[in-house]
């Protein structure tokens, strides 16, 4: 993997993955970061990377829905591996505008697979990053395994399920070397403030209401983003081709407990006039809100020896400190100032 195409590399998980990869001694190749720079793609997430690795890092502004652009990129940079993060990923947005999710997550993935298929002689791996939401909702018992039937309940999860199936089909039909990972909810640095954890950190630190869907009993498994990056790299380098691996954080928590933990940690780090828990407000539940997700990652642990390094307590403290220490980044994202910079530099 000497010319690794990372799609969506300016997004939350993609940018963390690029930072992670350049710290690994077993990666000596070049990264071609392809990103359309939509609202959640921010080049500032990778500040300093181009200067630190001028011969090993390239940024290309392009859309995975543009098949001609993809073909040109694959050939110009002699792409021999792909790590595919690029996706529309916010469930609430998918309810309002499902068409964008079908285009990016389904058609965009198809375009990438076609470009890779047409260059089978040099493609060593196509790794597809997906979500546990494709499996639907769990009751009080049980865990998602790699054999769990797909039952997506939102336009977002349905579009990701479709892309998973396409990747698997290209392996079995055309012999494309692929791996797939389905992860639980990520959190950590550089996450766009619309997501639950950064939204709650920022609102609580500013004394604003903390809106919680329903009664806050919906359960998610939480995975610190650097643990996820480590798992992806282990799958890419050591995983069996054609296989799917679940990646979980071994941390099941109700949403209300997550919010309360953030409040308590902020009270400890930056004491206010009143406990932040008083800011919690319950709002009408969103349509099709899955009740519980929980990941069984025993296959990944058994075959590759991976387990998460961060507990939720350690990971959430790192995350809170990062947002408190990067207020300039936060304000540029929330104000849209970074998009003005993107327009000036990339059109």
**Catalytic residues, which ones?**
132-133, 156
SS3 143: coil
Give CA–CA dist 319/7, Å, rounded. Answer: 24
Cα angle: 281, vertex 282, 285; to 5 degrees: 150
Instruction: Locate 304 and state its tokens.
Output: 């590759």
β pairing state of 81-84 and 125-131: parallel
Instruction: Locate 242 and state its tokens.
Output: 């054609």
What are the backbone dihedrals phi and psi of residue 337, each rounded to the nearest 5 degrees, phi first?
-60, -35
Q: At what angle do helices 196-205 and 255-269 cross, to 10 degrees?
A: 40
DSSP for 263-323, written as a single string: HHHHHHHS--SS-GGGGEEEEPPPTT---B--B--HHHHHHH-------HHHHHHHHHHHH
At a CB cut-off of 8 Å and minimum separation 6, what does 76 contact? Answer: none
Residue 144 in contact with residue 214, Cβ under 8 Å? no
Partners of 127 in the beta sheet? Answer: 83, 179
Quote the strand ranges of 142-201, DSSP E: 178-183, 185-187
At a CB cut-off of 8 Å and minimum separation 6, what does 325 contact? Answer: none
Give CA–CA dist 278/271, Å, rounded. Answer: 14
Give CA–CA dist 87/160, Å, rounded. Answer: 8
């Amino acid at each position: 993997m000497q010319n690794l195409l990372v799609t969506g590399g300016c997004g939350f998980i993609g940018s963390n993955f690029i930072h992670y990869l350049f710290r690994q001694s077993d990666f000596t190749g070049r990264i071609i970061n392809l990103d359309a720079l939509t609202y959640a793609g921010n080049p500032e997430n990778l500040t300093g990377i181009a200067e630190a690795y001028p011969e090993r890092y390239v940024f290309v502004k392009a859309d995975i829905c543009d098949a001609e652009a993809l073909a040109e990129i694959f050939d110009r940079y002699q792409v021999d591996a792909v790590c595919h993060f690029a996706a529309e990923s916010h469930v609430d947005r998918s309810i309002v505008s499902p068409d964008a999710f079908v285009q990016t997550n389904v058609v965009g993935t198809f375009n990438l697979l076609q470009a890779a298929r047409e260059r089978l002689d040099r493609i060593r791996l196509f790794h597809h990053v997906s979500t546990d939401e494709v499996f639907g909702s769990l009751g009080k018992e049980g865990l998602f395994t790699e054999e769990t039937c797909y039952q997506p309940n939102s336009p977002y999860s349905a579009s990701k399920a479709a892309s998973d199936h396409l990747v698997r089909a290209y392996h079995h039909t055309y012999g494309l070397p692929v791996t797939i990972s389905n992860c639980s909810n990520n959190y950590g640095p550089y996450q766009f403030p619309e997501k639950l954890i950064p939204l709650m950190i920022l609102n609580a630190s500013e004394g604003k209401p903390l809106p919680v869907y329903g009664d806050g009993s919906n359960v998610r498994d939480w995975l610190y983003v650097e643990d996820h990056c480590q798992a992806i790299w282990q799958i890419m380098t050591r995983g069996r081709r054609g296989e799917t691996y679940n990646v979980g954080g071994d941390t099941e928590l109700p949403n209300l407990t997550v919010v309360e933990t953030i409040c308590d940690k902020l009270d400890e780090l930056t004491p206010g006039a009143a406990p932040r828990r008083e800011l919690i407000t319950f709002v009408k539940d969103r349509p099709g809100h899955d009740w519980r997700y929980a990941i069984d990652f025993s296959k990944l642990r058994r075959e590759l020896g991976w387990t998460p390094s961060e507990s939720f307590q350690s990971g959430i403290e790192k995350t809170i400190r990062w947002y408190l220490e990067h207020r300039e980044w936060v304000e540029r994202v929330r104000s849209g100032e970074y998009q003005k910079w993107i327009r000036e530099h990339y059109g």
